[in-house]
Structure 1
Amino acid sequence: MTTPPPADPNIPPQQPQYQPGAQQPQPQPAAPLTVEQDISYSGWAYVLACLGWAAFIGPLIIWLVFRQRGQRVNHEGKEALNFGIVVAAATIIVNIVFGILTGVTGPRFDWVNGFSAGWGGWWIFPLLQWLIIVGIFVVALIWGLKGKSTVAAGGSYRYPFNIRFIK
């Protein structure tokens, strides 16, 4: 058996050339999550489901990325995603309704008379809107932290109020 001549150190190594008909190696599936990772990602899905109108984005990303790698992330991620959709919908509906109420009853400007106060109590609608949005956030955060702690203890958490869009 003959040995190839030594490579010249002054010539850079060549990339392997394309061979017609050669197959590219297939990508390998991702490794399953460890138990600790499964619990951690499940818990984060619950905590991220409290972010107002964007509440569904965090749980959606976690569920889509890790659902096939961990059974717990699949189950708990769906639960958190459903609640995130509910929180986002509630936040958007409150903002639309109170935005309309404030616009209808609030101060007005016209070019002839200038600025008029409109109904004197118009300021109550933005205040109520703010209180309801903060209330939604606080409830979602409390339930999310409770879900994270339940999952960390090895259990499964179900929100007291949830509409399960994704089963």
Structure 2
Amino acid sequence: MSVPPESVTPPPPPPSDPVIAVPSAEERQWATFAHLSALAGLVMPFGSIIGPLVIWLIKKDTMPFVDDQGKEALNFNITVALAAVVCGLLCIVLIGFLLLPVLVILWLVFVIVGTIKANEGTLYRYPFALRLVN
């Protein structure tokens, strides 16, 4: 006995990553600010963490793109802050004096790339970042 084709239901689609709709101009602007606000670390202590944190906390519930990119910027800057502490400790054995400038240059480059990608509306992932804030 065979089952008629119209009574067969297709299997449900496999679960996938959450899809974020194409971000609006305002969402792109706030996501750009989330990445760019990390440069506040050049002016004030912990500014590279406080800037993205404030923007993410303000806009996370109303703008999904800013929620994603704000968390990404925050996680990256926390990771860089931890790496800077390690480099500072390694200054005792002199290797930190070489690693710290490299870290600062990488941080600047990746923040600028993240800012540009967010402005384009692209979901950007930093190449190395601890995912501490989910």
TM-score norm. by structure 1 comes to 0.57
Higher mean C-alpha deviation, range 49-58 or range 38-47: 49-58
Query: Could you tell me how far apart the structure 1 residues matched to 2:112 and 2:79 are?
Result: 17
Give the CA deviation at 1:152: 1.3
Q: Percent identity?
A: 29
Give the CA deviation at 1:93: 1.8
Q: Which amino acid is 1:164 matched to?
A: R
Give the CA deviation at 1:96: 2.5
Give the CA deviation at 1:132: 2.1
Decide which of 90, 95, 100 is 1:133's aligned counterpart: 100
Secondary structure of 1:81's partner? helix
Q: Which structure would you say has the larger Rg?
A: 1
Query: Could you tell me how far apart the structure 2 residues matched to 1:59 and 1:146 are?
Result: 15
Query: Could you tell me how far apart the structure 1 residues matched to 2:131 and 2:54 are?
Result: 17
Aligned residue for 2:32?
A: 43
Corresponding residue pairs, total = 108
What RMSD in Å do the two structures reach over aligned CA positions? 2.2
TM-score norm. by structure 2 comes to 0.70
Secondary structure of 2:126's partner? coil
Gaps of 5+ in 1: 1-33, 103-124
Give the CA deviation at 1:94: 1.4
Kept after mapping to 1: 8 A contact 2:87/2:97: no
Gaps of 5+ in 2: 1-22
Query: Could you tell me how far apart the structure 1 residues matched to 2:35 and 2:97 are?
Result: 23
